[in-house]
Amino acid sequence: GGEGGSYYQTWWSIVEAVTVSGFGGGGVVVAWDCSGENMAIGFVGVGIGLGKSRVRNRSACGRARMALSTEEGTTSAKKKQALVDLKARLVKELETQLDGGEVDISMYAKDVNFVDPLNNFIGAEKQKKNIEMLANSPIMSMDFFKLHDIWIDPKKEAVMTRWTLNLKFKLLPWKPVLRFTGTSEYGLDDDLLVNRHIDTWDSINKQTFSFEAVADLVSEMFRKDSGSADVGSMLLRRDVLGFEVRKVTDGIVAKCPYTNRGDGMDVLDRYFNGINEKARPVFRLAPLILNFPEGIRSERKSMYSYIAEKKPPRSTSEKVKVEVCRSLTVAVFTFPDPITPQNAAMFEKYLMSLIKKRGYDRLSDQVLFAQYTPVYTLPWLRKNEIWIPLANDY
């Protein structure tokens, strides 16, 4: 208690019963402010009068406060350790569960709340059925899963994950692969069981059920295959602003400098068609990469294609080098227009505006263009990409 609510924000402890003198009645002091400055008095008795009160054993207040603090500290320490244990468990189990392994729901509370942009339900058994449906069912199956990062958020008191998930949708004849990137939040209840599991998608703004979420799902069903997997790239983020962040892994390439694109392609084609030390064709992967290491206005440029062999033959031409191309994290924007100097400058400016909105840092002036289809391809079938290297993954 306390007058005017002034004591509601303080710690209180019952000190002891005391005697009050007054108009015929006994009473009890019920609380003492542990700051030692204020006292709230409550009386119990039929006849209550005014008089003097005395509080003995004020040290009891300190002991009570210490006991409360110790109990809270123990609870906090247990939850912190539980979050560490949950983090380790998720690292081991997430990929296994989505790959068709046994789904263990012992870490979930019975009333766990699962939320994503298309679902909101309660129950551990429902969560188990949801995971099994995504992993392998007549509707869907897991095509690819990658856990990029996992950490503990002390403010949310939760384990957070960042992931890429590709699901094959089986109900359509062409069985499209649906790509999702986002984060998950795992929170604990007082029994140290997961009581909330909240998924968010990078590709939408509104994270509750909405037309935007449904439209995003449908767009993935009818999306043209990016072909990015050909070069060993990994989708890190499918951004709401209309671009992707990918990590292109290490790979062996055949590379040559060029001035005229047609002449450079002829030089590379000769290597892949058998003009090499083994005098045999070499299998190449899409796309063809046009590399401007110092920016699109620089005269220094090269082109290369990834090789689908671990030990490819060496080139017999001084113009072609077979070398390892190191991994790179890039922002990617897809367009159907031809790769001309004017279009190159326009798309670089546009993609940079998106990068800045997201707060990413550009690694260097380097710009790359990925050409998936021949130059003469009809416009509605043509596919090109611009890649800008990033200093951070996502």
Q: What are the DSSP calls for 72-105, one per residue?
A: HHHHHHHHHHHHHHHHHHHHHHHHHHHTT-----
Stretches where the chain sits below pLDDT 70 are 1-75, 224-230, 393-394
Residue 332 pairs in a beta bridge with 244, 387
What is the pLDDT, as a whole number, of residue 124?
A: 96
Instruction: Give CA separation, 45 vs 20, 25, 55, in Å.
Output: 11, 6, 18
Residue holding tokens 């290491």? 293
Sheet holding 119-122, edge to edge: 119-122, 108-116, 194-201, 177-188, 158-169, 140-153
What is the pLDDT, as a whole number, of residue 34?
A: 41
Residue holding tokens 């089986």? 170
Instruction: Give CA separation, 143 vs 183, 200, 394, in Å.
Output: 18, 19, 22
Backbone angles phi, psi at 272, to 5 degrees: -70, -25
What is the pLDDT, as a whole number, of residue 230?
A: 64
Return the sign of the alpha-carbon dihedral for residues 370, 303, 363, 91: positive
What is the pLDDT, as a whole number, of residue 348?
A: 98
What is the pLDDT, as a whole number, of residue 225?
A: 59
What is the pLDDT, as a whole number, of residue 75?
A: 60
What is the pLDDT, as a whole number, of residue 292?
A: 97
Whether residue 228 contacts residue 387, with contact meaning beta carbons closer than 8 Å, is answered with no
What is the pLDDT, as a whole number, of residue 392?
A: 76
Helix runs in 241-340, H state only: 261-272
Residue 215 pairs in a beta bridge with none
CB-facing half-sphere around the CA of 56: CA atoms within 13 A: 5
Report the C-alpha gap between 136 and 98 in whole angstroms.
Answer: 8
What is the pLDDT, as a whole number, of residue 59?
A: 52
Residues with Cβ within 8 Å of residue 61, at least 6 apart in sequence: 13, 15, 32, 34, 36
Return the sign of the alpha-carbon dihedral for residues 180, 210, 216, 247: negative
What is the pLDDT, as a whole number, of residue 193?
A: 97
What is the pLDDT, as a whole number, of residue 302?
A: 97
Report the C-alpha gap between 369 and 359 in whole angstroms.
Answer: 22
Whether residue 176 contacts residue 220, with contact meaning beta carbons closer than 8 Å, is answered with yes
Whether residue 372 contacts residue 227, with contact meaning beta carbons closer than 8 Å, is answered with yes
What is the pLDDT, as a whole number, of residue 86?
A: 97
Annotate 1-30 with b (16+ C-beta within 10 A) or e (fewer).
Answer: ebeeeebeeeebbebeebebebeeebbbbb
What is the pLDDT, as a whole number, of residue 104?
A: 85
Instruction: Give CA separation, 231 vs 307, 308, 392, in Å.
Output: 9, 9, 20
